[in-house]
Amino acid sequence: MSEYKTTFQTISAAAEALVKDDGYYGNYGGSFIPEILVPAFAEIKEYFEAIKQDEAFWQEYCSLLADYSGRPTPLTYADRLTEYFGRAKIYIKREDLNHTGAHKLNNALGQVLLAKKMGKTRVIAETGAGQHGVATATAAAKLGLSATIYMGREDMERQYSNVFWMKRLGAEVIAVDYGSRTLKDAINEALRDWVSSFETTHYVLGTASGAHPFPAIVSYFQAVIGIEAKEQILRVEGRLPSWVYACVGGGSNALGVFQAFYPHENVGLVGVEAGGQGKGSGRHAARIAYGEGKAGVAQGFKTLFLQNNDGQMNDTYSLAAGLDYVGVSPILADLSERGRVRFTAATDTEVVEALEIIMKTEGLIPALESTHAFAGAFNDITESSGSDIFIINMSGRGDKDIFNVAEGLHDDEWKAFIRRKARQFENSAR
Amino acid sequence: MMMNGKHLSGEKPGSSKIRLAEQITGGPSGQPIQIMTHQILGYPDFDTNYEMIRLFQESGARLVELQLPFSEPIADGPVFLHANQASLASGTTTKQCLEFAERVVTDFPGLSFLFMTYYNVVIQYGIEEFVKACAAIGIQGLIVPDAYPEESQEFMEACRKHTVEPILIVTPYTSSERLAYLSAETGGFLYCAARKGVTGTKTSFGKETEAFITRVRSIAKTPIAVGFGIQSGQDVRFLEGKSDIAIIGTQLLTVLEQEGLSGVRRFLKTIIPA
Tens digit of each residue's pLDDT (9 = 90 or more) over A328-341: 999 999 999 999 99
* pLDDT for the residue B9: 46
Cβ contacts of A416 within 8 Å, gap of 6 or more:
none
What secondary structure, in 3-state letters, does A341-389 show?
EEEEEEEHHHHHHHHHHHHHHHCCCECHHHHHHHHHHHHHHHHCCCCCE
Question: Distances in Å between the alpha carbon of B31 and those of A200, B63, B194, B266, B273?
Answer: 41, 13, 21, 19, 9
Q: Is the pLDDT of residue A413 over 90?
A: yes
* pLDDT for the residue A182: 87
**Residue A231: which H helix or E strand, with range?**
helix A214-237
Q: What single letter denotes the amino acid at residue A51?
A: I
CB-CB neighbours of A417 under 10 Å: 12
Q: Identify the bridge partners of residue A344 per DSSP, sorted by sequence position.
A: A272
Contact B127, B158 (CB under 8 A): yes
Buried b (16+ CB within 10 A) or exposed e, A32-45: bbbbbbbbbbebbb
> Quick one: which of A217, A216, A209, A225 has its CA closest to A260?
A225
Residue A174: strand, helix, or coil: strand
Q: Do A32 and B196 touch (CB under 8 A)?
A: no
Contact A289, A273 (CB under 8 A): yes
Q: What is the mean pLDDT of chain A?
A: 95
The residue-averaged pLDDT of A130-147 equals 97
List the single range of A38-47, A75-84, A398-407 with lowest mean pLDDT: A398-407
Question: Distances in Å between the alpha carbon of A372 and those of A129, A350, B235?
Answer: 14, 8, 55
**Of B71, B121, B173, which is closest to A36 when you measure between CB atoms?**
B173
Paired sense of beta strands A294-298 and A301-305, if any: antiparallel
Q: Which residues of A touch B (CB under 8 A)?
A: 30-36, 38-39, 178-179, 184, 188, 191-192, 195-196, 198, 294-300, 305, 307, 309-313
Tens digit of each residue's pLDDT (9 = 90 or more) over A338-396: 999 999 999 999 999 999 999 999 999 999 999 999 999 999 999 999 999 999 999 99
> Quick one: which of B76, B154, B78, B159 has its CA closest to B117?
B76
Q: Which residues of B touch A (CB under 8 A)?
A: 70-75, 77, 81-82, 85, 88, 93-94, 118-121, 123-125, 145-148, 151-152, 168-171, 173-175, 178, 182, 193, 196-198, 201
Q: Is the pLDDT of residue B180 over 70?
A: yes
**Of B73, B146, B175, which is closest to A32 when you measure between CB atoms?**
B146
* Catalytic residue status for B65: yes
* pLDDT for the residue B27: 53
Q: Is the peptide bond before A72 cis (omega within 30 degrees of 0)?
A: yes
Q: Is the pLDDT of residue A117 over 80?
A: yes
Q: Do B120 and A311 touch (CB under 8 A)?
A: yes
Which of these is catalytic: A93, A104, A142, A230? Answer: A104
Exposed, middle or buried by CB within 10 Å (0-12, 13-18, 19+), for A80? middle
Q: Is the peptide bond before A34 cis (omega within 30 degrees of 0)?
A: no
How confident is residue B202, by pLDDT bands cut at 50, 70 and 90? confident
Q: Is the pLDDT of residue A3 over 90?
A: no
Residue B6: strand, helix, or coil: strand
What secondary structure letter does DSSP report for A68?
I
**Of A33, A300, A312, which is closest to B70 when you measure between CB atoms?**
A312
Q: Is the pLDDT of residue A251 over 70?
A: yes
Tens digit of each residue's pLDDT (9 = 90 or more) over A12-34: 888 888 888 899 999 999 999 99
**CA distance linking residue A171 with residue A137, whole number of Å:** 6
The residue-averaged pLDDT of B38-55 equals 98
Q: Identify the bridge partners of residue B35 per DSSP, sorted by sequence position.
A: B246
For the entire predicted model, the pTM comes to: 0.94
Q: Is the pLDDT of residue A320 over 60?
A: yes
* pLDDT for the residue B18: 59
> Quick one: which of A69, A65, A177, A194 has its CA closest to A125?
A194
* pLDDT for the residue A9: 83
Q: In chain A, helix, strand, coil percent, each to 5?
A: 50, 20, 30
What secondary structure letter does DSSP report for A62?
H
Own/partner pairs, B155-162, CB within 8 angstroms, 24+ separation: B155/B119, B155/B122, B155/B127, B155/B131, B156/B185, B158/B127, B158/B128, B158/B130, B158/B131, B158/B132, B159/B131, B159/B187, B161/B128, B161/B131, B162/B16, B162/B128, B162/B131, B162/B132, B162/B134, B162/B135
The residue-averaged pLDDT of A182-200 equals 93
List the single range of A74-78, A84-88, B31-35 with lowest mean pLDDT: B31-35
* pLDDT for the residue B11: 46
Q: Is the pLDDT of residue B16 over 80?
A: no
How confident is residue B123, by pLDDT bands cut at 50, 70 and 90? very high
Task: Round the CA-based radius of gyration of chain A to a whole number and report it.
Answer: 20
